[in-house]
């Protein structure tokens, strides 16, 4: 049986470490880090994620500020709120929860966030700093994946890492981080990739971030591979009270027979994204207060 890459457990360890640091700050008479969260509209999944982020802030002793706007808010008004948060000294970092309504440009909004406060690590400046000696704030989900592998002592140097999904928020920055810090040889697959299995079968480390349940079946995975599933799709499940369950991109039941390490969904990368958000907020606080 493979070793489970238990993101829930690692995230809980990280939260404990952050909590100790917050106690230290408070004992020095300093205020706690303060994270602001902007959410637009009433998408159920987004509200669930945001509630998880708020619970995480509470658990480590961070302050938080929740700003909820109707889906009809104009881009101009939303940008005004972003500008206010950029210049508010009581806010150390903030995020704009995605997705946004179609009439609002995600790129314009995220690019207007001051990089020092961009604790999701979405801005071009933070993205670019992955390849700089002077790293700023790392994209949260890729950072969470790297940290999860580090804490299980998964060797990445010289390994062949195949990433499926080249999104701007996960696959692309993860490819850069795996190359830079991970010193891995990276193959980045995307929707135009031909014969996906011919690539995934060669992976020592296979990371999948697409959002298509069951995309990766057992025949597509090499014996002994490390498998990281970033996918989280809500699929209908009437046997549950909520009416849905979360599904990853990997067929866990069969792939886990072959893998040496594997993340569960839920309880793998998801909690690590939240832990990274907290680490980034603490970094933003420390950098802006030093």
Question: Binding site membership for NADP(+): which residues?
Answer: 165-167, 232
| CA-to-CA separations, 222 to 150, 217, 229, 247, in angstroms, rounded | 21, 11, 15, 22
User: How is residue 87 written in tokens?
Assistant: 């210049």
Give the tokens for residue 219. 């025949």
> Which is the catalytic residue, given 6, 15, 97, 118?
97
Annotate each residue in 24-63 with x if it binds ligand GUN (CB under 6 A) or - if it does not, as one string.
-------------------------x--------------
> 87-118 as b/e, with b when 16 or more CB fall inside 10 Å?
eeeebbbbbbbbebeeebeeeebbebbbbbbb
Q: Kindly report the backbone phi and psi dihedral angles of residue 33, in degrees, each rounded to the nearest multiple of 5, phi listed first.
A: -60, 145
SS3 category, 116: helix
Using the contact rule CB under 6 A, the part of the chain among 91-99, 101-109, 215-223, 246-254 near ligand GUN is 91-99
Q: Is 120 a catalytic residue?
A: yes
- The reply to whether 237 belongs to the active site is no
Q: How far is the CB of 290 from ligand GUN (least distance, A)?
A: 26
Tokens standing for residue 141 = 């989900």
Longest CA span, the chain: 59
Three-point CA angle 120, 122, 203, nearest 5°:
90
Under 8 Å between Cβ of 115 and 137 = yes
d(CA 227, CA 103): 37
The correct pick among 79, 98, 196, 246 for binding ligand GUN (CB under 6 A) is: 98
Binding of residue 279 to ligand GUN (CB under 6 A): no
| Contacting range for ligand GUN; rule: CB under 6 A; set: 7-15, 63-71, 94-102, 151-159 | 94-102
Nearest residue to 61 (alpha-carbon basis) of 92, 82, 33, 101: 33
Instruction: Measure the CA–CA gap between 81 and 280, rounded to whole angstroms.
Output: 21
Any contact of residue 120 with ligand GUN (CB under 6 A)? yes
Site string for ligand GUN, 189-208 (x = CB under 6 A): --------------------
Q: Which one among 36, 60, 78, 97 touches ligand GUN, defined by CB under 6 A?
A: 97
Q: Considering the rule CB under 6 A, would residue 118 count as an interface residue with ligand GUN? A: no
- Annotated catalytic residue: which of 6, 92, 118, 120? 120
Q: For tokens 């020592």, what's the residue?
A: 204
Give the residue ranges of the annotated binding site: 165-167, 232
95 binds ligand GUN (CB under 6 A): yes
The CB-nearest residue to ligand GUN is 98
Of 216-275, binders to ligand GUN (CB under 6 A) are 273
97 is catalytic: yes
Q: Catalytic site residues? A: 53, 97, 120
Q: By CB under 6 A, name the binding residues for ligand GUN.
A: 49, 95-98, 120, 140-141, 273
């Amino acid at each position: 049986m493979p070793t489970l890459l238990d993101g829930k457990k690692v995230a809980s360890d990280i939260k404990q470490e952050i909590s100790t640091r917050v106690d230290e700050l408070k004992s020095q008479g300093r205020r706690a880090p303060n994270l602001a969260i902007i959410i637009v509209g009433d998408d159920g999944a987004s509200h669930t994620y945001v509630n998880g982020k708020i619970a995480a802030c509470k658990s480590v002793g961070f302050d938080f500020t929740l700003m909820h706007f109707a889906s009809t808010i104009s881009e101009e008004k939303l940008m005004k709120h972003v500008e206010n948060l950029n210049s508010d000294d009581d806010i150390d970092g903030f995020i704009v929860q995605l997705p946004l309504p179609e009439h609002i440009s995600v790129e314009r909004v995220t690019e207007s966030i001051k990089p020092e406060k961009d604790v999701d690590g979405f801005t071009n400046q933070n993205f670019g700093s992955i390849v700089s000696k002077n790293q700023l704030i790392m994209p949260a989900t890729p950072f969470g994946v790297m940290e999860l592998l580090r804490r299980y002592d998964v060797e990445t140097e010289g390994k062949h890492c195949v990433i499926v999904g080249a999104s701007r928020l996960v696959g692309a920055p993860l490819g850069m981080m795996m190359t830079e810090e991970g010193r891995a040889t990276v193959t980045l697959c995307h929707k135009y990739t031909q014969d996906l299995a011919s690539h995934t079968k060669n992976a020592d480390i296979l990371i999948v971030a697409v959002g298509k349940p069951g995309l990766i079946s057992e025949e597509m995975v090499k014996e002994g591979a490390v498998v990281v599933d970033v996918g989280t799709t809500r699929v209908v499940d009437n046997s549950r009270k909520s009416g849905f369950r979360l599904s990853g991109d990997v067929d866990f039941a069969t792939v886990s027979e072959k893998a040496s390490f594997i993340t569960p969904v839920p309880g793998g990368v998801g909690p690590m994204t939240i832990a990274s958000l907290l680490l980034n907020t603490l970094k933003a606080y420390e950098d802006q207060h030093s």
